[in-house]
Structures are given as structure tokens and as C-alpha cells.
Amino acid sequence: MQLVCLDLEGVLVPEIWIEFSKRTGIPELSRTTRDEPDYDKLMKYRLGLLKTHGLGLPDIRKVISDMGPMVGARDFLDDLRKDYQVIILSDTFYEFAMPLMAQLGMPTLFCHKLEANAEGFLVNYHLRMPNQKMEAVKRFRQINFKVIAAGDSYNDTAMLAEAHAGILFHPPQNVIDEFPQFPVTMNYAELRAEIDKASARV
């Protein structure tokens, strides 16, 4: 039994916070863990900015639904799901991702959850568990799935290492240099070919 696990942001959809920052004209929302390594502080900063700018959950969903998936992502995913069971593993939040999931044909998504108050403003976030991408792959292996995983960035590498086969998709050069054990793909045709090669191998 084989299972393909894909990261979401940078593989199927744009980096949500960065794209959201561009579309709302709020540059401070583009801060990432490179700028603020304390994730809890970063998330509370983001939630405060959203409230300051009067952006409630309906406004946020509207902006995100206008982003759309990456070019070719829906066709790639539809084709992949004909031959493999596919699960999306992401560190985003359901409340952000669902408008994009609808445009991708509602694939299965494991991620985290945001909390909104009665006025619709986001007030807190809840991680499903630490290192959830890697832990999910570990559990899939424990129930006898052969797992092929693909992601684009440093925070995907633990998931890739835990899988029977890990693949990088359009990664930055520093990730390529630091993790030479993973094959590098730069477009969906290459990614599909590498998944098929791994499928024959694992």
C-alpha cells in the first residue's frame, strides 16, 4: 500500500502569509520564522496585526480564495490521485487553507486550527501537535503504508527523511546544498516522474 504525502505551501499553493501580505498591502504580515524564530511570538504578532487592520475571518477567507493554487497544481493533483492515495501535510491552518482546498478538489488535509471570537477576529491558534508532518509519516509507516513525501523547504526535510522516499520540489539552493540525499524536482512533470520512480522502488 503506497501513500503520497505532499506539503501544501510552495508545492500546490503560494506561501499563504507572504501572498496575503502582498494582497492586503500589510508588509508586516510577510514576517516569517527567519525574522522571528519564536513561532508563538510570530503568530501572536500576526493575529494582532489582523485585528488592528480590521480583518476578520470572512475577510481573510475572501483574500485567500482570490489567490488560487499555483499554475498546474490542480491538474497535477487530479492526475496523481488517479494512481495514488494522497494526503496534504501542512503547517498552515484549516481556516486559511480551505478556500484553496476547494479549488484543488478538496484533497485530504492535515494541518492546524485557528480560533475566532464572536466578532470573527482571530484570537488564538492551536497546533495539532509538534512536528506533525514527520509524526504523521511515522504513523502511516506504522500501519504499513509505503510513504513517498515531497516538500519544498527546510521545514519539510524531517518529513522527507521519515518517508520511504523523500523528494524536494523547487527548493531554495541552501536546502539543496544541505540535503543532497533528496532528489530535486523543479516542475510538476519532474515531480510526478520522481514519484513514479520512487513508487517502483519502495
9 noted as active-site residue? yes
78 noted as active-site residue? no
d(CA 199, CA 80): 12
**Three-state DSSP class for 191?**
helix
Pick the closest to residue 145 from 90, 84, 73 (CA basis).
84
**Residue 186 half-sphere exposure, CB side, CA atoms within 13 Å?**
3
d(CA 112, CA 175): 25
Distances (CA, A) of 12 to 46, 50, 151: 23, 25, 10
Task: Starting at the earlier edge strand, list the strands of the sheet with 2-6.
Answer: 122-126, 108-116, 85-93, 2-6, 146-151, 165-169, 184-185
* Beta-carbon count within 10 A of 162 CB: 21
CB contact at 8 A, 24 and 53? yes
The residues pairing with 115 across neighbouring beta strands, listed in sequence order, are: 124
Grid cell in block for residue 196: 513514479
Catalytic choice (9, 19, 95, 156)? 9
Catalytic choice (7, 152, 156, 194)? 7
Catalytic machinery residues: 7, 9
